[in-house]
Structure 1
Amino acid sequence: MITVTGERRHVVALDPETGELLWSYSEPKTARYEYSMRKGYGKGIAYADIDGRGVVFIATPGFFLHAIDAETGQHLENWGTHVPIEGFPETGVVDLLPPLIEDWGPWIESGEDYDPYYGLPLELGYITASSPPIVVNGTLVVGNSAEQGYNQTRIENVPGDILAFDASTGRFRWKFNVIPRPGEFGHETWLSDAWQWTGDVSSWAPLSSDPTLGLVYVPTNGPTIDFYGGFHPGDNLFGTSLIALDVETGEREWHFQMVHHDIWNYDTPTAPILMDVTVEGRDVPGVFQVTKQSFVYSFNRETGEPIWPIEEQPVPQSRVPGERLSPTQPYPTKPAPFDIQGRTADDLIDYTPEIERVALEFAQNNNLLVPLFNPPTYVGDPDLVVPARVCPGGGGGANITGHQWRTQSTGCFLLIPRVRAQPPILHRPTSRR
């Protein structure tokens, strides 16, 4: 049994019968590890049979990728590139930052010399890893993570592009730009040249794959930052989306954006689940994504066609100066939402008429009866009495705990936090920064 533990993602191999420690590995500390805000995440590894032996792959808070022989605990020879940091093995490691930033405009313009110990200068951006990589048909695909969007104080960051490497050699294979560049599909969804400096849109949740189709399924979060998007107008592909990529080439096969111009911290929080279902007598290879909004989005995992219709419905609009929301958001017609969406008087306790009356009065006085996709408010709003509320909040609905499917007859099992949130009251922006 091989697992990881602790903030350093300490890899341990244990005898499953006795609990005896067989081997272990901890990555030496670096400055980029020290400032990682995802040390408590990523409790997982990837495993694959590579060239006749079991190999463990791990992405660390410092944003390095390690390949370790599952039997001996030794890093693979002639794998990856040498990382010139004291204490690192001579082989078996990839520094994930260079292929991510080497063609990123703000890094090039900075003229900085790259230092692998410190990584990306914090004045330019921040990136780390929060979930294990995935191996599909000999290709190792790696997601990434930024600082939690509700904690961020700047609107610029490095995009969370998806990276792929040869699992046998560690050689770089491809990169998918999660914020499309000029000429790429979706670039027109970024107005005001915001694609040049907006970041995130990373895949902090685990990835899924269908090896037979040769596809890897990537759930993404929203752009920098949560709760205000006036600096990056447009629908902002591929933010808060599910993307199916060809694992050989990194080309997009299909995608679906589950929140246009996300300002609610509704990032996609779990690995999509693959399950075949029978719909009106026909077998459909399905992929299912639960969301913080309490939706289940269902697609044919080969074509991306929705299994059941998904309708664009009108949603509330923002009064925040400079903010331009999408007039609609996508609502699945099936399955039904698995938890409340917004809050109405019908959701309040009503054990007695008096309790119901008091609950309703309190809810009305504190702005608790709100629709789904209720937008934040701002300081100086003449109609502001109490802050805006969001239900579900950024905690879900569904969240990092994920969901499980047994069979199509038993359905979906998931833990529902049922979190209401109060987004911050925004100050009127005065400049891009």
Structure 2
Amino acid sequence: MSTDRASTPRRLLPSLLGVVMLLMGLALLAGGIKLATLGGSLYYLLSGLGIALTGALLLAGRRAALPLYALVLFASTLWSLWEVGLDWWQLVPRLALWFVLGLVLLLPWFRRPLLAGVPYALGTGTLSVAVVLAGATAIASQFTHPGEIQGQLDRDTAGTASGAPAMPEGDWQAYGRTAFGDRYSPLAQITPANADKLQPAWTYRTGDIPGPNDPGETTAENTPLKVNGMLYVCTPHSKVIALDPDTGKEIWRYDPQISTQNAANFKGWAHMTCRGVSYHDDAAYAASGQSPAAAANACPRRLFLPTADTRLIALDADTGKVCEGFGDKGQIDLRANIGTFAAGGYYSTSPPAVTKDLVVIGGHVTDNVSTDEPSGVVRAYDVHDGHLVWNWDSGNPDDTTPIAPGQHYTRNSPNMWSLISFDEKLGLMYLPMGNQMPDQWGGNRTEASEKYSAGVTALDIATGHVRWTYQFTHHDLWDMDVGGQPSLMDIKTADGIKPAVIASTKQGSVYVLDRTNGQPIVPIDEVPVPGGAVTGDHTAPTQPKSQLNFMPPVMTERDMWGVTPFDQMLCRIDFKQLRYDGAFTPPSLQGSLVYPGNFGVFDWGGVSVDPERQIMFVNPNYMAFVDKLVPASDVEGGPARKSETEGIQANKGAPYGVIMNAFLSPMGLPCQAPAWGYVAAVDMTTHQVIWKHKNGTVRDNSPVPLPLTMGVPALGGTFMTKGGVAFLSATLDQYLRAYDVRNGKQLWEARLPAGAQTTPMTYTGKDGRQYVLVVAGGHGSLGTKQGDYVMAFALPK
């Protein structure tokens, strides 16, 4: 031993590192013991012991620290490969910290001062091999794509045509472009060959931003319409703005002066949003040989606006003036016959369905406030004078006769808060149904609510009578309401062309039914699911699973994730402490893992379909939630409700409240491994996934704003074009993206000034150019950057 090597100043660095590693090891050891007692992996206990001993040897100045740490790093590499294989985003967080520490130990300032005890070559040699092996493993993992499907669509057409109602190719006349909710445009100016040349054409700012009296979950989810030579934009405060499609210049503006009802002081108001307005043109029906009602002398072209303070207003689409002949001086008070509710507790967040003679509207009901909430009634009003034609109340489904003054619809019946699709040739409309409140406890649900919850119900357009219904989640205890607008499409099958309705769901199944009778086109299997609900409730023994689905595999402990081994270990502990028996694990007092979570694999964004290529474009999401029931006696003393995912949801009138939140680590990152969001395409003639790719970066959601393509959730929808390009803007990072529908290749992206959790659209301007339009206003409940932007993109002139 040389005096120089043993000198105190030169041993300072190894000693400091020793302290750090000792503390890290002890932390892992403590957590590892806890995890082991829960039946979890022994890795953290053993690695914690090894790292703590390494730290102690460094403090003692012993060279034995090097081969010991080499053993820890080597074992960690093998363990990581055994758990996750060559999956970069799961492998690297397991090894990166240990790899860096190994490199540091190999630096001469750390290894040379160490006292003898093992041969010098043995210490540095074994550690060098372990470091190289860990690094090589990480490099190899960059060339794999777990969870993705590589494929290529080999056709441009399947010999079918869209059966959707005709409109000018350059228009976008309804939320889903047509009454079919297909989100498919026949425009072809933008193609995979030139999409990368898209550039900003114009930007308009609405001036509508969240105010001090607004609920925290003020959201911009609007898809504008392009019709009547104008663009029609709806803002979160229910303002309607008409813009010039070529320039974005404002033509007119209507402000309904909504009452926020002091929403900021009432945490029951869950959302303030306007997904869109609806359009009706008498001339369009006259041109098709159908005679519009005689009352249509004023406002022959009109917009229907649902407001956040529970009104339905008819506007002249030319001028923005109120159509005085509709309802009571241009508006209908949707509070009629509903009964009492708290501020924001009932209104329509989605645009109504508008047929030849009717405007049909449902309503959002705030989740998990009480068992005495407004009715989920769907009402059909005369499109011209606004008188009530029929009402379908899922709590009283057989009587659609307009309700008498002074009476009330069934309280707390299942509601329809999303968008209706309809087929006027068949005379049917298709309702995506929610469930009866509260979401996580169903001990007192009625027979009618059990029948109509969480499925699609087809009503006769003229009378509102039920023609058929199909339920997708039995006795729903997980908020698995059907959020997306059903898409109608004529599908090529072995038995010929079949008229289909396609319903995407939160639990991940995509149900494909014959829209004439509700019979499955894609087989649906009833599969056993976990039981064991809390006292007073029950679970269904089976749940319907479509053979076309994006349901994730059952989550295991090895799926827990973190940016370091420490937060990953804490997530493993949380996972083992929760109840989880796979999909449809019932809520519990212990706390249950809900996966897919409350936002679902598919939510209100729905899907888009290309009837010519016979494909479906989707953006599935994978985020787990935690539901923990709280006895009613403990609700008052718990954390107050701040939003639908913060504090105790009271469920007044039920024996349990509930705490719901995303399954996150102490660092605020998902506990489950990425990817959390994909884009994918399905061949609807074979029901097979053609391709599936991770989508979106963590640039706007991580502590360090790096554009790492890990795949992030997207709340909002997609559209496709005949040109072979699909678009999506709804990811948690601020981008609008274009994809080649043949293989999923990302063709282009544009950075947006705010979040765009909405569904973009496309149209042709007066100048003949194809534009892509997106509203970037942010989303209060997701925490994306808020704004007031309407942005158009086009190819260079």
User: Where on the TM-score scale, by shorter chain, does this alignment land: which range?
Assistant: 0.7 to 0.9
Match of 1:94 in 2: 332
- Please state whether the residue corresponding to 1:426 is helix, strand or coil: strand
Match of 1:30 in 2: 259
Match of 1:167 in 2: 383
Counterparts in 2 of 1:262 and 1:319: CA distance versus 1, 3 Å: closer
Give deviations 1:278-309, integer Å, cap 9, x for gaps: 12141100000000001001111111111133
Summarize the alignment of residues 121-140 of structure 1 with structure 2, pairs less than 5 Å apart. Answer: 121-122=341-342, 126-140=345-359
Q: Does the CA contact (< 8 Å) of 1:277 and 1:408 recur in 2?
A: no
- Please state whether the residue corresponding to 1:3 is helix, strand or coil: strand
Match of 1:231 in 2: 444
Match of 2:582 in 1: 371
Give deviations 1:48-79, integer Å, cap 9, x for gaps: 10347321111111111111111111111322
Match of 2:703 in 1: none
Q: Does the CA contact (< 8 Å) of 1:33 and 1:62 recur in 2?
A: no
- Please state whether the residue corresponding to 2:348 is helix, strand or coil: coil
Q: Does the CA contact (< 8 Å) of 2:579 and 2:585 recur in 1?
A: no
Query: In the alignment, is residue 397 of structure 1 matched against residue 601 of structure 2?
Result: yes
1: CA distance, partners of 2:612 / 2:514: 15
Query: In the alignment, is residue 262 of structure 1 matched against residue 262 of structure 2?
Result: no
Counterparts in 2 of 1:228 and 1:408: CA distance versus 1, 3 Å: farther
The alpha-carbon deviation at position 339 of structure 1 amounts to 3.9
Match of 1:156 in 2: 372
Match of 2:279 in 1: 47
- Please state whether the residue corresponding to 1:13 is helix, strand or coil: strand
Summarize the alignment of residues 319-358 of structure 1 with structure 2, pairs less than 5 Å apart. Answer: 319-332=533-546, 334-335=547-548, 337-344=549-556
Q: Does the CA contact (< 8 Å) of 1:64 and 1:95 recur in 2?
A: yes
Match of 1:218 in 2: 431
Match of 2:762 in 1: none
Query: In the alignment, is residue 307 of structure 1 matched against residue 521 of structure 2?
Result: yes
- Please state whether the residue corresponding to 1:153 is helix, strand or coil: coil
Q: Does the CA contact (< 8 Å) of 1:243 and 1:254 recur in 2?
A: yes
The alpha-carbon deviation at position 359 of structure 1 amounts to 11
The alpha-carbon deviation at position 95 of structure 1 amounts to 1.0
Match of 2:139 in 1: none
Q: Does the CA contact (< 8 Å) of 1:160 and 1:201 recur in 2?
A: yes
Higher helix proportion? 2
Letter in 2 for 1:324: H
Match of 1:252 in 2: 466
1: CA distance, partners of 2:571 / 2:255: 54
Match of 2:78 in 1: none
Letter in 1 for 2:458: A
The alpha-carbon deviation at position 240 of structure 1 amounts to 1.0
Q: Does the CA contact (< 8 Å) of 2:238 and 2:258 recur in 1?
A: no
Q: Does the CA contact (< 8 Å) of 2:236 and 2:274 recur in 1?
A: no
Counterparts in 2 of 1:369 and 1:38: CA distance versus 1, 3 Å: closer
Give deviations 1:106-154, integer Å, cap 9, x for gaps: x4xxxxxxxxxxxx3539x93111100011122111011111x2xx232
Counterparts in 2 of 1:45 and 1:221: CA distance versus 1, 3 Å: same
Counterparts in 2 of 1:156 and 1:408: CA distance versus 1, 3 Å: farther
2: CA distance, partners of 1:421 / 1:239: 21
RCO higher in 1 or 2 (8 Å CA, sep ≥ 6)? 2
Match of 2:242 in 1: 13
The alpha-carbon deviation at position 365 of structure 1 amounts to 2.8
Q: Does the CA contact (< 8 Å) of 1:392 and 1:418 recur in 2?
A: yes
Q: Specify every segment of 5 or more residues in structure 2 that has no aligned partner in the other structure, as ranges.
A: 1-229, 283-295, 401-408, 635-651, 655-797
Q: Does the CA contact (< 8 Å) of 1:136 and 1:216 recur in 2?
A: no
The alpha-carbon deviation at position 364 of structure 1 amounts to 6.2
Match of 1:116 in 2: none
Counterparts in 2 of 1:197 and 1:360: CA distance versus 1, 3 Å: same
Taking structure 1 as the reference length, what is the TM-score of the superposition?
0.79
Q: Does the CA contact (< 8 Å) of 1:342 and 1:369 recur in 2?
A: no
- Please state whether the residue corresponding to 2:364 is helix, strand or coil: coil
Q: Specify every segment of 5 or more residues in structure 1 that has no aligned partner in the other structure, as ranges.
A: 82-90, 102-106, 108-119, 186-195, 379-383
The alpha-carbon deviation at position 348 of structure 1 amounts to 6.7
Taking structure 2 as the reference length, what is the TM-score of the superposition?
0.44
Counterparts in 2 of 1:302 and 1:410: CA distance versus 1, 3 Å: closer
2: CA distance, partners of 1:421 / 1:39: 20
2: CA distance, partners of 1:429 / 1:302: 49
Match of 2:530 in 1: 316
Query: In the alignment, is residue 425 of structure 1 matched against residue 663 of structure 2?
Result: no
Match of 2:31 in 1: none
1: CA distance, partners of 2:375 / 2:495: 43
Q: 1:59 aligns with which of 292, 300, 306?
A: 306
1: CA distance, partners of 2:473 / 2:244: 45
The alpha-carbon deviation at position 314 of structure 1 amounts to 1.9
2: CA distance, partners of 1:289 / 1:33: 37
Match of 2:363 in 1: 144
1: CA distance, partners of 2:492 / 2:272: 39
Query: In the alignment, is residue 79 of structure 1 matched against residue 326 of structure 2?
Result: yes
2: CA distance, partners of 1:184 / 1:142: 17
The alpha-carbon deviation at position 32 of structure 1 amounts to 5.2
The alpha-carbon deviation at position 198 of structure 1 amounts to 5.2
- Please state whether the residue corresponding to 1:97 is helix, strand or coil: coil
Letter in 2 for 1:374: T
What RMSD, in angstroms, separates the aligned Cα atoms of the two structures? Answer: 3.2
- Please state whether the residue corresponding to 2:372 is helix, strand or coil: coil
Q: Does the CA contact (< 8 Å) of 2:485 and 2:605 recur in 1?
A: no
What percent identity do the matched residue pairs reach? 27
1: CA distance, partners of 2:653 / 2:280: 45
Q: Does the CA contact (< 8 Å) of 2:395 and 2:410 recur in 1?
A: no
Q: Does the CA contact (< 8 Å) of 2:258 and 2:308 recur in 1?
A: no
Counterparts in 2 of 1:180 and 1:325: CA distance versus 1, 3 Å: farther
2: CA distance, partners of 1:54 / 1:342: 51
- Please state whether the residue corresponding to 2:513 is helix, strand or coil: strand
Summarize the alignment of residues 199-218 of structure 1 with structure 2, pairs less than 5 Å apart. Answer: 199-218=412-431
Letter in 1 for 2:315: I
1: CA distance, partners of 2:315 / 2:399: 36
